[in-house]
Each structure stands twice: as C-alpha cells, then as structure tokens.
Amino acid sequence: MKTQLQNNQFNICILIMVLAATGMVMAVHPFTAVVFFPSFAVFCFCVFFVVHAHKRHMAALDQMQKVLAQEKTAREKTQKDLIRVSENAEQAMKIKDEFLANMSHEIRNPMNGIIGMMHVLKDSDLTEEQRKYADIVYSSAQALLVIVNDILDLSKIEAGKLELDIRPFDLEIGIRDMVSLPELQARQKGIDFSFHIDPQVPRLLKGDIGRLRQIILNLIGNAVKFTESGSVSLAVTLNFDEETRACLHFSVEDTGIGIKDATISRIFESFSQADVSTTKRFGGTGLGLSISRLLVEKMGGRIGAESFELVGSTFWFDLVFEKSSCQEILVDSGDLSVSDCRLLLVSDIPGAAKNLERQIQHLGIAPELALDGTDAFDRLLSAQELSHPFHVVLMDVQESSRFAQQLGEKISNKNMLAGLKLILITGVGQQGDAREFEKIGFSAFLSKPVDQVLLADCIRTVVARPHTSQKDPLPIITRYSIQENRKQAHRILVVEDMEINRITARTLISRLGYAIDEAADGKHALEKHVQAPYDLILMDCQMPVMDGYEATRKIRHLEDQQKLDRVPIIAMTGNAFEQDRNKCFAAGMDDFITKPVQPDMLAKKILLYLFAASDADPDKTAEPDPDSGLPPEDSMRFNKEQLWERFGHDGEMIQEILSSFFQETPDLLTDLADAVEKQDIQAITACAHALKGSAANVNADRLKDIARGLEQDAAKKDRTTLQKRYDEIFKEYEMFAGETAQ
C-alpha cells in the first residue's frame, strides 16, 4: 500500500512538470510551443517509464532479498535441527551401547558363575541321575550365553566398534576343527555330513579365524537344524588366486525344508526367520544370519542364498584373504621336557582346579597350588628372591575372566617377574578374549575342554618362547596355532627322478600347507632319511641308481634293526595293474597313488597316513602279544573314567561321540566280515585299523586291543587266526554295547 501511494505521488509530479514546462514555453514563444510540446511529452513519458520500471525492479529485488533471508533462516534452523537430531542419535546409540554392555556384563557375570560352578559340580562325584541333571543345566546355561553374546555382537557391529583379529592360520586345520561338533550333531539326527576343500585352495592364509568360525558354524548349524533327512555339506572353492591374496567361495548346502521366494529376501535381517511357524517349530532368535551378513561385510565380502521350498537351500559367502607362509605359522616348541618346568596353578574358585591339577601331574609336573591371586603373586615374588623362579603361571578361569586380567596385569607390570609365561585356560571365554589377554602379556589362551596332549604342547611351546616386552608381544598361542604347529612339524619327503614331477608334487603339497623335502633317487632318499627321519615318504618306483622298491626294503630293514617307528611310504607309480600294486606292498610300501597325481587324492592320502600315524597309542606297555588271541588281563572293556576325563566331563559331547560310534561300527563290522570271508588281507588291515581307532576314541580298550591284534595278523598274512579274531571282535563289541547301555 505504501509503495503504491509513492508511485501515485511520483506520477502527479511528472504531470505537473510537463504542464509547467509547456506553460513557460508558450509564454515566451507561442509558435514554438506547438512544436516543442509533443517532443517534450514523449521525453517525459520515457523518463516516467524508465523510472517506474526501476521502481518495480527495486521492489522485486527487495522482495527476493526478504525471501532469501527467510530461506537462510529456515536453512540455518534445519541445520541446527539436523545437528541436534544427529547428536541425539549419537547419544541414543551411546546410551544403547552402554546399556547393552552393562546388561551383557550383568547377565554374563551370573551366567559365568553358573557355568563355572557347573564345571566344578561335574568334576565331583555324582550319581548318573545327578550328572544328567547337571548336564541339562550346563547346556541350558551355554545356550543362554550364546544368545547374550549374539546380541552383544550385533550391537558392536552396528555401532562400528567390532575389531577384527587378523592372524596367520591354516584353513584346513581350522575347517576340520569347526565342523567336528556339527558333524556329530548331524550324524545323531541320521543326516549325512561332508565337507570338501578344493585342492587348488591355498591353506596358509591371514584373517580372523574366530569370526570365520562364527559365520560357518551359524550357516552349518542352521542347515542341520532345518534338515530332517538327507545331507548337509560344506564346500570351499577358489574364486581367484593372486600372488599375495586369494578369494575363497564358501557354500553350505542342505536338503532341508527350504525357504519361500517371498521371504528369502529378508532372511539376513535381524530377528528374522522364514515365518512364524518356523520360529515356533525350530526356535532361535533369528540373529545368526544377520550377524553372519554383518561379519562378512565387515571382512569385505558378500553373502547370499538360493533355496527351493521343500527341496533345500544353499547359503554362500565370498571372502578375500591375504596369503601367509609356513614361517609365520610355525612356532618353535623347543626341546624342553615339560617335567623340567616349574609351574604355579591358580584358579578363580579356590579348590576348583582338581581335574586340571591331575592332568598336569600326569605330564610329570608337580604344580604348586595358590589359594588366590594374592597368594599367587606372593609366591612368585618369593620364588624369584630365592633364585628358584617359576617358568609358568597357569590360570584356571571357571567363573569370571576379571580375575585373570587383574593378576596378569599385576605380574606384567612387575619388572622382576619379566620372562614369566602366563597361560589362561577358561570355560567362559568369548570372541575377542584372546586378543585382549595378548595385550596384557599372556602367552597362551585355551578354551575348555583341554586334553593332556594339547596341554603338554602348550606348556612346551610357551616355555620355549623368547621374552618380549608388553608393548610388542608375540602372537598369543591358541588351540588353532598348536594344531597348525603340529601340522607344520610333519616332514614329507618326495622321491622322484623327474624334475617336472618333483615340481608338481612340491606345488600340490605346499598348497596343502605342509613342509616338504626332495630326493632325486632311492639312494639319496635313504641317506636323507637316515640323517633325519621323515614322517611320510612319497616314493617313485622306477628311478636310476636305486629304485623305489629297493629303497623301501632298505628303509624297512633299517627300522627293524634299530627298532625305529615305521614311516608310511606311498608309492607314486604310472602302473595301475594289480601285479604292480602287489609289488609295491611286497616291498614294504603302505599305499600307492597312480600318475598323473590327482590333487584331491594326494590330499586324502597325506591326511590319512600323517594323522593316523600320530594317533598311535602312547602307552607301549599295554601292547598285547601279537601271537596271543586275547587282550592283556588288565585291559578294561570300557574305561569310563578316562573317557570322561578326556572330554572334560562334558556329558552331551560324550553321548554324541558314543552315538556316532554305534552308528558307524555295524557297517565296519559287516565290511570286516566280508573281507575275512574272502581272505582279503588289504581290506582286513584297513577295517581293523579303522576299528582300532574308533574303539580307542570311546575308550573301548579291550575291543581296541583285539582289533590291533587282527591288524598285526593281517600284516603278517597269518590267515589261520583271522576268523577267530573276528569272532572275538564281534563278541566284544556286543558286550561293550551292553555295558555302555547300563
């Protein structure tokens, strides 16, 4: 309104100026006014138009500035609102993380107390009914702890606070350890389980083996849970292989209930399952696949699934790993006898480490027991002052890891205790604990159950390690690294006169993660084996100087003369006729591989003979007389106490192992009966060896001894006692089955 009034006033002024100018001209020159007036009027109109347009433009500009000012104010307000929302979200996330951490801590503490005290209870004298109830409480507590850990993992990943623990590892050893329990669970349900690692896949890698285990167990666990009949399988293949890294493809396939097309797109979402009926029927939180997806993405990979309802599913993921070398994995276990080690044992629960104390005593070590952390620290200082220091402190955690953290930090910060090695054995560990204890200064971290061999290897390896500062510690020793070290300790000799064949064998075996040596003929191989015996020899048959047959005979003769352990010798031959095979066996070879060598078959043969040889019984005094048809008098039918000790009194695990034994042995006995009837010495040897190992695994000592006797008779080709031995085996198996059922 004000602007319009100003415009009207301006127009009136222009009109008055025109009239005044016209009047002045007419007063002076009336004739000129007639000519001047129109021109002057046009001029005034133009001035009027320009000025008016300028006014309108200025008004529009003023309006635009007001709009811009309003938009700026609104934008600033929006930015402030966004900042405030972001801050609120961050604060909410922080509060949520703190809440979950606190709740996890509050839940985990009583859960760890329950689990820890259940370990103590299960180590005590219980009736069968009491032990059954204790096993139920223990397994239920473990299941609840898994759920708590899953929720905490999900929170950590979503908040970007999950750190990967990158270490060198052996893929083959890791996979075998991962599938051991789900394999037993599958067999108990009557489901076939298998796994396969393509020979082209490099075994020595770098990555977070703990998180890889978590992903694979999630996928296999789901496959077993949702499969009522048929099979579950795990396959590891190679996507690409470069000089310093490789991309692996993992797939878990099952013949289970399958997933509908409408729901498979959301199967990796948190708290999601195929449908409500699935949750009701099978249970579960639906977190496993979500965590697996987040972990795979955190590791730079991708994950997916294909499924047909009522046919089955395939879950897969791809990950890129850096390659490692044997030197990065191999740890010097030293020559120190464990019996020379001074060891201090302390537990977070006074008097709770009885089972562990017995294991240590069986190794020939007399451990000193500390009452608590304070007593342990005082004993360490006193021993150091008396110049009789301890080598190792072994902490047994049954309730809370905080005890070990505090004592470990106290020891690591004491200069006079530098060089003391710390080992933690825990029943309440979780993902990432090993890395945290490594930072404190611990040398080894083992989760229960821990058998005697593992414990001895751990102590020996720890003591042999050089002392390092807490700021730059050596990688912590775990169950995986000890198993990998055992694998790397095996020495394989390849005997082959053709260089191309040696290169092929070297490439294939190195890819499997084993250390190898080479010889160009039998004479060279014999000399090398005499200097430093090998664990396995791959022997070409036809070579110059000394062929494989003669070299094998000389090695066997040397073993007999010097009472050496028998080294497995596998022939590598281009001849596949029966007479050629018999010639290999007659020379003393254990097996053969035909050329060209197939990578998959080579891997199976190496695994069979290396680890079958390492499973030999340590107590040679219990060896039965091969000429006798009966086991030793003191041989027990079912050494139940030793079985429970070996598996840490884990009743659920022991039941699964026994179930697996009774599922597999009838077929093995049928094959053995056919072989005895046909007098097939090779098949008898194989069946007897397999039965001996299975019986030893369930502590069926008498059955194991009879099977060993049959194996020895078959090796001697003593056909007169074969049927008698088989009858004894069958009778003993039935009596063992009856005793375990009581």
pLDDT in tens, 692-739: 767 776 778 888 888 888 888 887 777 778 888 888 888 888 888 888
Alpha-carbon span 689 to 669, nearest angstrom: 12
Alpha-carbon span 208 to 216, nearest angstrom: 13
Alpha-carbon span 249 to 237, nearest angstrom: 5
Helices (H), 395-533: 402-412, 433-440, 452-464, 479-489, 499-511, 522-531
- For 167-206, b where at least 16 C-beta lie within 10 A, e where not — what string? bbbbbbbbbbebbeebbbbbbeeebebebebebebbbbbb
CB atoms within 10 A of CB 742: 6
Q: What is the pLDDT of residue 41?
A: 61
- For 112-143, b where at least 16 C-beta lie within 10 A, e where not — what string? bbbbbbbbbbbbeeeeeeebeebbeebeebbe
**Average pLDDT estimate for 396-418:** 83
Residue 627 banded pLDDT, cuts 50, 70, 90: very low
The CA R_g of the chain, rounded to the nearest whole Å, is 40
pLDDT in tens, 60-86: 777 788 888 888 888 888 888 888 887
Cis check for the bond before 596: say yes or no (omega within 30 of 0).
yes
Residues 6+ apart with CB under 8 A from 445: 423, 424, 426, 429, 433, 434, 437, 438, 476, 477, 478
Q: Residue 163: CA atoms inside 13 Å, Cβ hemisphere, count?
A: 7
pLDDT in tens, 643-694: 665 555 556 657 767 777 787 788 888 888 888 888 888 888 878 867 876 7
Q: What is the pLDDT of residue 250?
A: 97
- Provide the sign of the torsion angle of the four alpha carbons 720, 723, 724, 728, taken in this order: positive
Token representation of residue 454: 């593992």
CB atoms within 10 A of CB 317: 24
- Residue holding tokens 């060891």? 343
Q: What is the pLDDT of residue 436?
A: 83
Alpha-carbon span 205 to 169, nearest angstrom: 6
pLDDT higher than threshold 80 for residue 33: no
Q: What are φ and ψ of residue 161, in 5° steps?
A: -105, 5
Comparing C-alpha atoms, which of 738, 698, 662, 737 is closest to residue 188? Answer: 662
> How many degrees, rounded to 5, is the angle at CA 560 between CA 555 and CA 564?
80
**DSSP one-letter string for 51-104:** HHHHHHHHHHHHHHHHHHHHHHHHHHHHHHHHHHHHHHHHHHHHHHHHHHHHHH
Token representation of residue 195: 């796994």
Between these two residues, 253 and 437, which has the higher pLDDT value? 253
Token representation of residue 433: 């604990």
Lowest mean pLDDT among 28-42, 108-122, 235-249, 714-728: 28-42
State CA 105 to chain mean position distance.
Answer: 25
CB atoms within 10 A of CB 481: 25
CB atoms within 10 A of CB 340: 10
Token representation of residue 538: 């791959």
Q: Specify the pairing of strand 204-207 against strand 444-447.
A: unpaired
Q: What is the pLDDT of residue 427?
A: 73
Cis check for the bond before 533: say yes or no (omega within 30 of 0).
no
Alpha-carbon span 740 to 8, nearest angstrom: 115
Q: What is the pLDDT of residue 625?
A: 37
Residues 6+ apart with CB under 8 A from 149: 430, 431
Q: Which amino acid is present at 147?
A: I
In the 3-class helix/strand/coil scheme, how is 564-585 assigned residue by residue? CCCCCEEEEECCCCHHHHHHHH
> How many degrees, rounded to 5, is the angle at CA 530 between CA 528 and CA 534?
70
pLDDT higher than threshold 70 for residue 617: no
pLDDT higher than threshold 60 for residue 35: no
Alpha-carbon span 242 to 252, nearest angstrom: 25
CB atoms within 10 A of CB 42: 10
**Average pLDDT estimate for 493-510:** 78
Q: What is the pLDDT of residue 621?
A: 30
pLDDT in tens, 502-541: 777 777 787 777 878 899 899 999 999 988 889 999 998 8
For residue 516, list its beta bridge partners.
Answer: 492
